[in-house]
């Protein structure tokens, strides 16, 4: 793991650096919004990455519910955690863009509200996993994740089917985008996806290590009284 | 322009904050494993 991580981290960092250059320098300046539009190159890829992570969480949770597979449970935990991080980026960069463009930080618009609800659902998922000591926690979390994932398509399609203050989709849905801007957007998405995959992989390894250690500790605790009993029997004999 | 920089800085503060929390958890686990190894050695 120690060797693989830098091998993957170096090209990912290079790609993120290149994507940053493309977003700040190479991308054309939007005519009406000016430079503040460049927030879009971080906001939209972060949202897409969060959606993908929540979908992986959904399928891993389904897999856990069907097969009770520990690895599926770990994948669900990891993707929820990293998904919350990316969703937090969306919820922070959105208002920073909205303030100069709309004149307000936040409005209880359908898209914005559903995104906030999505974030709250997955934060509650993580809180449940962290503080519940029941053996049924993975099962309860998987059920919560399955219902929580229903909010993802609602968030995504809310701007397709309802009139909202949020800008219309740039790909499909009647929206249009300059090909150079689309190029920069896709590069940033690729960079953030690679970054998310790397972070998920590191978190997955950490969780595997944590569980193996906890199992060893539990085994040791189980064996301890037996060992002392055997020793006392021997000394008594 | 300040809004643009604020958004980009905020993004990386969030990401590095999370990476920092992962690193802390990894170090804590490593220390626990080391302590455990020492305990096992002492028992032997």
Q: How many CB pairs under 8 A join A and B?
A: 63
Contact B14, A50 (CB under 8 A): no
Whole-model pTM: value is: 0.91
Let me know the angle formed at the C-alpha of B28 by B25 and B34, rounded to the nearest 5 degrees: 140
Among candidates B18, B22, B33 on the partner chain, residue whose Cβ is nearest the Cβ of A206: B22
Cα–Cα distance measured from residue A57 to residue A237, given in angstroms and rounded to the nearest whole number? 57
Query: What pLDDT, on the 0 to 100 scale, is given for residue A235?
Result: 43
* d(C-alpha A162, C-alpha A215), whole Å: 50
Instruction: List the end-to-end C-alpha distance of chain A, in Å, as a whole number.
Output: 50
Domain boundaries, chain B: 1-44
Helices in A22-148 by DSSP H: which ranges? 40-67, 70-102, 110-131, 137-148
Cβ <8 Å between B7 and A92: yes
Number of domains in chain A: 1
Q: Tens digit of pLDDT per residue, chain A (237 long)? A: 567 888 889 999 999 999 999 999 999 999 889 999 999 999 999 999 999 999 999 999 999 999 999 999 999 999 999 999 999 999 999 999 999 999 999 999 999 999 999 999 999 999 999 998 888 999 999 999 999 999 999 988 887 777 777 887 766 666 678 889 999 999 999 999 999 999 999 999 999 999 999 998 888 888 776 555 555 444 443
Rounded Cα–Cα distance for residues B41 and B44 (Å): 5
Q: What is the pLDDT of residue A26?
A: 94
> Could B7 and A203 be called an inter-chain contact, meaning their C-beta atoms sit closer than 8 Å?
no
**3 state SS of A42:** helix
Q: Which residues of A touch B4 (CB under 8 A)?
A: 24, 35-36, 38-39
Distance, CA of B13 to CA of A155 (rounded, Å) = 25
Query: Cα dist. A28→A19, A65, A179, A183 in Å?
Result: 14, 48, 10, 11
Name the residue facing B7 among A39, A206, A217 (closest C-beta).
A39
Residue A237 confidence (pLDDT): 35
Residue A31 CB coordination number (10 Å): 7
ipTM of the complex: 0.94
- Kindly report the number of other CB atoms within 10 A of residue A43's CB atom: 20
Q: Within a domain: residue A108?
A: yes
CB contact under 8 A, A217 and B36: yes
Tell me which residue in A36, A92, A202 faces B4 most closely, judged by beta carbons.
A36
Contact B19 A199 (CB under 8 A): yes
With beta carbons less than 8 A apart as the criterion, state whether A173 and A159 touch. Answer: yes
User: Which residues in chain B (2-41) have CB-CB distances under 8 A to chain A?
Assistant: 3-4, 6-8, 10-11, 14-15, 18-19, 22, 25-26, 29, 32-33, 36, 40
Calculate how close chain B gets to A3, using CA atoms only, in Å.
Answer: 16
The candidate with the shortest Cα–Cα distance to B23, out of A206, A4, A53, is: A206
Report the pLDDT value the prediction gives residue A234, as an integer from 0 to 100.
Answer: 46
CB contact under 8 A, A39 and B4: yes
Structure tokens at A156: 């995504």
Residue A83 lies in a domain: yes
| Interchain pair B15, A195: CB under 8 A | yes
Which residue is listed with tokens 């203050």?
A: A165
Q: What is the rounded distance in angstroms from the CA atom of residue A154 to the CA atom of residue A99?
A: 25
* Residue A204: Cβ within 10 Å count: 17
Across the interface, whether the CB atoms of A210 and B15 are under 8 A apart is answered: no
Planar angle of CA A120, A125, A72, nearest 5 degrees: 135
- Give me the domain span that covers residue A122: 4-28+37-202
């Amino acid at each position: 793991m120690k060797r693989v991580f830098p091998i993957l981290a170096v090209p990912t960092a290079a790609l993120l650096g290149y994507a940053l250059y493309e977003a700040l320098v190479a991308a054309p300046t939007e005519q009406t919004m000016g430079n503040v539009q460049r927030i879009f190159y971080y906001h939209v890829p972060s949202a897409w990455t969060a959606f993908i992570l929540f979908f992986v969480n959904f399928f891993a949770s389904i897999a856990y519910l069907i097969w009770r597979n520990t690895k599926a449970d770990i994948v669900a935990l990891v993707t929820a955690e990293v998904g919350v991080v990316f969703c937090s980026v969306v919820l922070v960069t959105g208002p920073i863009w909205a303030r100069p463009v709309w004149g307000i930080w936040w409005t209880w618009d359908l898209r914005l509200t559903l995104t906030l609800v999505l974030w709250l659902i997955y934060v509650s998922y993580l809180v449940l996993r962290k503080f519940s000591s029941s053996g049924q926690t993975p099962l309860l979390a998987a059920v919560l994740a399955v219902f929580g994932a229903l909010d993802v398509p609602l968030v995504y399609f809310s701007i397709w089917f309802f009139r909202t203050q949020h800008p219309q989709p740039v790909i499909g849905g009647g929206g249009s985008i300059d090909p150079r801007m689309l190029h920069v957007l896709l590069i940033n998405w690729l960079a953030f996806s690679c970054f998310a995959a790397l972070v998920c992989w590191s978190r997955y390894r950490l969780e595997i290590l944590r569980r193996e250690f906890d199992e060893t500790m539990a085994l040791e605790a189980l064996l301890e009284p037996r060992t002392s009993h055997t020793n006392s029997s021997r000394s008594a004999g | 322009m300040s809004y643009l920089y604020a958004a980009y800085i905020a993004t990386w503060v969030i990401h590095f904050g999370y990476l920092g929390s992962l690193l802390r958890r990894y170090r804590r686990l490593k220390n626990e494993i080391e302590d455990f190894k020492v305990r096992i050695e002492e028992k032997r």
